[in-house]
Amino acid sequence: MPKDSGIGASSKRREDVRFLTGAGNYTDDINVHGQAYVHFLRSDIAHGRIKSVDTSAAEAMPGVVRVFTGKDFEGVGGMPCGWEVTDKHGAPMQEPPHPILAQGKVRHVGDPIAAIVADSLEQARDAAEAIDLDIEELPAVIDMKAAAQDDATLVHDDLKNNICYDWQLGETDDAKVDEVFANAAHVTTLDLVNNRLVANPMEPRVAVGEYKRGTDEYTLFTTSQNPHVIRLLMCAFVLGLPEHKVRVVAPDVGGGFGTKIFHYAEEAFCTFAAKACGRPVKWTSSRSEAFMSDAHGRDHVSKIELALDADNNFIGLRTNTYANLGAYLSTFSSSVPTWLHGTLMAGNYKTPVIQVNVKAMFTNTVPVDAYRGAGRPEATFQLERVVDKAARELGLDPIALRRQNFVTQFPYDTPVALTYDTGDYNGTMDKLEAAADLAGFAARKAESEANGKLRGLGINCYIEACGIAPSNIVGMLGARAGLYDAATVRVNATGSISVMVGAHSHGQGHETAFPQVVADMIGIDESMIEIVHGDTSKIPFGMGTYGSRSLAVCGSAMVKATEKVIEKAKKIAAHLLEASEADIELKDGQFSVAGTDKSVAWGDVTLTAYVPHNYPLEVEPGLEETAFYDPANFTFPAGAYACEVEVDPDTGQVSIEKFTAADDFGNIINPMIVDGQVHGGIGQGIGQALLENCAYDENGQLLSASYMDYAMPRADDVPFYGVDHSSQTPCTHNPLGVKGCGEAGAIGSPPAVVNAVLDALNSGGKAVDHIDMPVSPSRVWAAMNS
Amino acid sequence: MYSFDFEKPSTVADAVAALGAEDAQALGGGQTLIPTLKQRLAAPSKLVSLSGIAEMQGVCVEDDGSLSIGGATTHATVAREAAATYPALAALAGQIGDPAVRNRGTIGGSVANNDPAACYPAGVLGSAATIVTNTRQIAADAFFEGMFTTALEEGEIITSIRFPVPQVASYQKFLQPASRFALVGVYLARFADGVRVTVTGASEDGVFRWSEAEEALNKEFRPDALMDLRINPANMIADLHGSKAYRAHLVSVMTKRAVEACM
Amino acid sequence: MKITMTVNGKAVSGDVEGRTLLSGFLREHLSLTGTHVGCDTAQCGACLVHVNGEAVKSCNMLAAEADGADVGTIEGQANADGSLNAIQQAFQDHHGLQCGFCTPGMVMSAAALLKENPRPTEAEIRKYLEGNLCRCTGYHNIVKAIMAASGQDVSSIAAE
């Protein structure tokens, strides 16, 4: 029987009511009295040397408050990168400056050159047209392999080349890797591209900066997944402000998917300009602006080689990847192709020798950073595509080949730096085979063929490292931040509870799921618990929401804080019941003395904490506890996905006919929300596989600069999905046994889709080894006819 | 958007007068024009809305059996009200944009804009329709002059479009996956005196008649008649969503499907 | 110029420029911020409202064009007693929203669909939502919620 409340219940989301009635409070809904509007004049060329920016005419335009250029920011810091990667020779990555407004050069289409603050947005835009720019156009650096050549044009003149770092993980002895491949019975090689994407949360980014002269206090309202991180980075590295004078608020946020993790120049600008102009300053991105100013995702070009022995065991894996970082280092960009990518290259398999090589490149494109999955989809795509190709080359069943090579003993130390604590990949695959009705595939294929369509089945397995992350480990790996999280449980006198959490909810349903945990621990109704998030003035601290970490890390902090509350409440209850604290039990909101019928209700204890007349002298009044939680390890959600497609042989059009996901997320708090997270991830993964493509031409012009050319998945591009979450191996090292579910769908689905298309083509008699994503009709048709 | 004045006349005569102002521009449903204005790619001094002109609204059957559609009639209205008389044209209108766009976008606006990937130009040219303006009548064959270019003079308003109704017709649209305009759209109409095949989305020159296909189908109206026909890819559009060769191929496939739909 | 219209049953008026969009009028003049703006090319549908009973993208219509019109927004959808209407309730019951940004447009679009087609099939719903983008849900629970709101049994549809 499904539960109707607490852990394991599909509680309906309380936040829905405000969203469904138009009562949400998104950043663009916030208007501050007297606010001015900023418009950023952005580069329309990819690469150029700024000779002059004459703003005098613009400054004289009606309504203009002030015009800023790069010169106005020479005294402040640039946008920081939060992760220093060390290259394979021990040198730190090349780390060029990233000014708030361009200084010296423009380096991508969309690079902000000037900011015009005016009474109205249209006045600011009018004034932008009056700015006289003299920019000498330089050759654009777009292709990553060309960018790596010695004679390539430099994106950053002060760097020695365009290579941010040349990084390696796994086996360092090239000769040993060569030997494994030389001795292999079979080697499968694949060149592939992981297409550049734009995250496209439906809410464009917005920032409103406010400054109060009387108290010297700043407030920044921003569309962020992690307001504390923004405050820390902006105060410590960019503007040099004391944190206690700066409040950052991320109210309702309309989706993030990674792209709202990063600290953006517009946030620092609005904060800075609010003081400089003496007025609140608001910026609202248009969608077109978002395409050239939100950090992009993915964009890897890889060669992967898999070595198998005569018994089809995986014996070696080698990858060489060019990873595009764009023109500047975005906040976490350097970590994505390295520690979030290379470490996942073992996948679900016990391959003993793995070598991962990554060259990260500067190009004249928008900065690239984490997008849903962040590095892990790129790793999974390579691995699962090459495994699938190996199965085809060897005439093996792709499921049997995978099963044969699964890791089955836990904990398992991979050759690429991780320790998987638990999992059951065969068990999850069993669930998939049943849920996807793989036995019925042949009949469905025959039916499709009778209708003139090719039908294919694609299988994929994935593992991801979530619950990011143990601070001591990531510190060793170059992170310039700790990745713990925090929660304060504030019990009010009447027994209701406010839980201040560092995680930020922008679709994940924390406001509903987190109370389910606390309610279960105390035995009170979920409605007595309120989650407070997104405001640095209200919550102790928090590293925010990304990497499927909210419940595993922040939720653990919340559990720890609740345990402290319960411990203290038991002392009070023991006093009231005149019993020993050790004999006090808490169940269903009642403290009772074990073995007796003496009890006192939760609300009476909480009231006593605040009206401490009859009270233990050694206990402080009040009932509020804070806990910080630093995880001991990553969590390792894993799963197996199956996709069935039909291909129209006349047009190359692919349609997804059936999609099934079997995931092992460990314990689940709210199954409804978890299923929804997987649905959404699959939708985005199908988008990457079939539709989405952020493309530049050779001059660095963005070809997919709006929804007219960037194909977002729509309702009729996708089917209903089957999801099965009954395979559950609880995480061994966090109190809830949870692993995280936010990214799984986006990681697991692209290879399943592409494998399915290739299965359809090959079983239809077309020998096609690979098609790069998006597997568009034109590409499928070209592959069929090449 | 740049600043502009707004006027909403209730007669064609008043609209024509209003459009006499320098840099004044007509506003149909605005589904293309408003995004263009947002990008500041146009700077009209005045927009003259045509949506308040009763005589430009609606779908009616003329005495000669042709279908007359007012220039300010929305796609949704055409999809609904032309369904009985001219189902293929109604189906075309029902495939433009999305429901909300179809509730605003108008036939006159679409045809006057002549986007090379729009649906209506294929239907208008494929039906050998007559474009009726405030000053004259223009045969479809003389109207479309290349992408975003038509025979309309400045200030001239499409008041209605008259469609001869063919014996049978079909519009086959292959979607550009992002914009959902036509990557390739083929309109095929079979009249007593012959077949017309028009193609949108494919050519640098905008909508065009595929005369070889028309000849082949005039000889023999069945899908196989097209078997050996290939359109020259040289003039096709190449972009992110499809190469010249792919578009040329789609023209063949969509034309064949249109014939099949008419059988 | 001065415009007047009925919004959610109430007469309203305001002074707007020719270039003021209906979405801007609703959000800035009337503080009805439930109508969202998610794109500038009329694709995303977050701004979808009803004008004289028809679904319209309010960021792609001039406010002046709605002079005299009867406009419905998300703020006017709940029942008179403030409880969620059938579509809103189905979205909550079936988890048809996550971040909530596209949701007002989805609900308004669903209402327009059910008005003209009270029992749409799955395929009809998916087709009708062509002009409404959602980045969170993968559409699964949106389609399911609309089917449920139209009185159809959705218990056989996979998952929650």
Cα distance between residue B34 and residue B48, in whole Å: 13
Determine the average pLDDT of the residues in B157-165. 98
Q: Which CATH architecture has domain B168-262?
A: 2-Layer Sandwich (3.30)
Which of A675, A708, A723 shows the shortest C-beta gap to C41?
Answer: A708
Min Cα distance C101 → chain B (Å) is 18
Cα distance between residue A473 and residue A112, in whole Å: 36
Min Cα distance A183 → chain C (Å) is 45
| Tens-digit pLDDT profile for residues A162-185 | 999 999 999 999 999 999 999 999
CB within 8 Å: C65 and B4: no
User: From residue A673, how far is each of A264, A360, A721, A725, C141 by CA, in Å?
Assistant: 30, 36, 14, 12, 11
CB within 8 Å: A715 and C100: no
The number of beta carbons lying within 10 Å of the beta carbon of residue B218 is: 14
Cα atoms in the Cβ-side hemisphere of radius 13 Å centred on C24? 17
Which of B1, B241, B250 shows the shortest C-beta gap to A776?
Answer: B241
Residue pairs spanning A and C at CB distance below 8 A: 200
CB within 8 Å: B3 and C18: yes
Residue from A666, A238, A593 nearest A420 by CA: A666
Which of B40, B242, B253 shows the shortest C-beta gap to A778?
Answer: B242
Radius of gyration of chain B (CA): 18
Residue pairs spanning B and C at CB distance below 8 A: 80
| Tens-digit pLDDT profile for residues A366-414 | 999 999 999 999 999 999 999 999 999 999 999 999 999 999 999 999 9
Instruction: Give the list of residues 6+ apart from residue A482 with CB closer than 8 angstroms, or none.
Output: A471, A474, A475, A543, A630
Interface test with C, best of A21, A206, A508, A673 (most C CBs within 10 A): A21
Residue pairs spanning A and B at CB distance below 8 A: 50
A31-138+202-255+260-293: CATH homologous superfamily?
A: Aldehyde oxidase/xanthine dehydrogenase, a/b hammerhead (3.90.1170.50)
Token output for B192? 């007593």
Please identify among residues 66-105 of chain C the ones whose CB lies closer than 8 Å to any CB of chain A.
73-75, 77-78, 84, 88, 91-93, 95, 97-104
CB within 8 Å: B101 and C54: no
Residue from A568, A758, A562, A498 nearest A654 by CA: A758
Is the bond preceding A242 in cis, omega lying within 30 degrees of 0? no
Determine the average pLDDT of the residues in A480-501. 96
Determine the average pLDDT of the residues in A32-37. 97
Q: Which residue of A has its CA nearest to B178?
A: A711
Instruction: Give the list of residues 6+ apart from residue A124 with CB closer than 8 angstroms, or none.
Output: A37, A38, A39, A63, A64, A116, A117, A118
Predicted confidence (pLDDT) at residue B135 exceeds the cutoff of 50:
yes
Which of A126, A710, A782 shows the shortest C-beta gap to B178?
Answer: A710
B-chain residues within 8 Å CB-CB of A650?
Answer: 253
Domain C2-75 matching CATH 1.10.10.60: the answer reads no
Interface test with A, best of C37, C47, C101, C143 (most A CBs within 10 A): C101
Predicted confidence (pLDDT) at residue A1 exceeds the cutoff of 80:
no
Q: Is A781 on the interface with B (CB under 8 A)?
A: yes
Min Cα distance A708 → chain B (Å) is 4
What are the extents of the domains in chain B?
A: 5-163, 168-262
Min Cα distance A255 → chain C (Å) is 5
| Tens-digit pLDDT profile for residues A444-463 | 999 999 999 999 999 999 99
Predicted confidence (pLDDT) at residue C159 exceeds the cutoff of 70:
no
CB within 8 Å: B99 and C55: yes
* Domain A16-22+484-629 CATH class label: alpha beta
Token output for A392? 């085809």
Interface predicted TM-score (ipTM) of this complex, two decimals: 0.98
Token output for A758? 């290739």
Q: Is A610 on the interface with B (CB under 8 A)?
A: no
Predicted confidence (pLDDT) at residue B242 exceeds the cutoff of 50:
yes
The residues that bridge with A283 in the sheet, in sequence order, are: A207
B-chain residues within 8 Å CB-CB of A709?
Answer: 178-179, 239-241
| Tens-digit pLDDT profile for residues A517-569 | 999 999 999 999 999 999 999 999 999 999 989 999 999 999 999 999 999 99
Which of A650, A776, A782 shows the shortest C-beta gap to B253?
Answer: A650
* Domain B5-163 CATH class label: alpha beta
| Tens-digit pLDDT profile for residues B23-54 | 999 999 999 999 999 999 999 999 999 999 99
Cα distance between residue A635 and residue C158, in whole Å: 27
Pairing type for strands A599-601 and A590-593 reads antiparallel
CA angle A752, A753, A758 (to 5 degrees): 100
CB within 8 Å: C159 and A509: no
Reported confidence tier of residue A243, pLDDT bands at 50, 70, 90: very high
Which of B3, B240, B253 shows the shortest C-beta gap to A693?
Answer: B240
CB within 8 Å: A16 and C92: yes
Angle between helices A556-577 and A602-610 (to 10 degrees): 90
Interface test with B, best of A120, A650, A704, A778 (most B CBs within 10 A): A778
Determine the average pLDDT of the residues in A578-592. 97
CB within 8 Å: A781 and B240: no
In the predicted model, what is the mean pLDDT of chain A? 97
CB within 8 Å: C57 and B100: yes
| Tens-digit pLDDT profile for residues B150-159 | 999 999 999 9
| List of chains touching B (3+ CB pairs within 8 A) | A, C
Reported confidence tier of residue A356, pLDDT bands at 50, 70, 90: very high
CB within 8 Å: B30 and C60: yes
CB within 8 Å: A509 and C107: no
Question: How far, in whole angstroms, is CA A13 from its chain's centroid?
Answer: 22
Cα distance between residue A285 and residue A204, in whole Å: 6
In the predicted model, what is the mean pLDDT of chain C? 97
Cα distance between residue A120 and residue A64, in whole Å: 8
Instruction: Give the list of residues 6+ apart from residue C128 with CB closer than 8 angstroms, or none.
Output: B99, C109, C113, C117, C120
**Positions of CATH 3.90.1170.50 in chain A:** 31-138+202-255+260-293
Interface test with A, best of C47, C71, C85, C95 (most A CBs within 10 A): C95
Cα distance between residue C97 and residue A20, in whole Å: 9
Reported confidence tier of residue A637, pLDDT bands at 50, 70, 90: very high
Cα distance between residue A279 and residue A448, in whole Å: 64
A-chain residues within 8 Å CB-CB of C93?
Answer: 12
A-chain residues within 8 Å CB-CB of B38?
Answer: 286
Determine the average pLDDT of the residues in A30-48. 98
The number of beta carbons lying within 10 Å of the beta carbon of residue B193 is: 8
The residues that bridge with B209 in the sheet, in sequence order, are: B198
CB within 8 Å: C93 and A254: no
Domain A296-469+633-784 matching CATH 3.30.365.10: the answer reads yes
**Positions of CATH 3.10.20.30 in chain C:** 2-75
Residue from A319, A312, A309, A311 nearest A347 by CA: A319
At residue A520, the 3 state secondary structure works out as helix
C86-149: CATH homologous superfamily?
A: [2Fe-2S]-binding domain (1.10.150.120)
Please identify among residues 114-143 of chain B the ones whose CB lies closer than 8 Å to any CB of chain C.
none
Which of B5, B97, B104 shows the shortest C-beta gap to C61?
Answer: B104
Q: State residue A2's pLDDT score.
A: 66
CB within 8 Å: A676 and C102: no
Tell me which DSSP letter residue A738 carries. B
Residue from A554, A601, A552, A557 nearest A576 by CA: A601
Cα distance between residue A16 and residue C48, in whole Å: 19
In the predicted model, what is the mean pLDDT of chain B? 97
Q: Is B101 on the interface with C (CB under 8 A)?
A: yes
Reported confidence tier of residue A4, pLDDT bands at 50, 70, 90: confident
CB within 8 Å: B4 and C1: no
Min Cα distance C102 → chain B (Å) is 15
Token output for C118? 């009270």
Cα distance between residue A356 and residue A163, in whole Å: 17
Q: State residue C160's pLDDT score.
A: 41
Residue from B102, B101, B85 nearest B93 by CA: B102
Reported confidence tier of residue C158, pLDDT bands at 50, 70, 90: low
First to last CA, chain A: 55
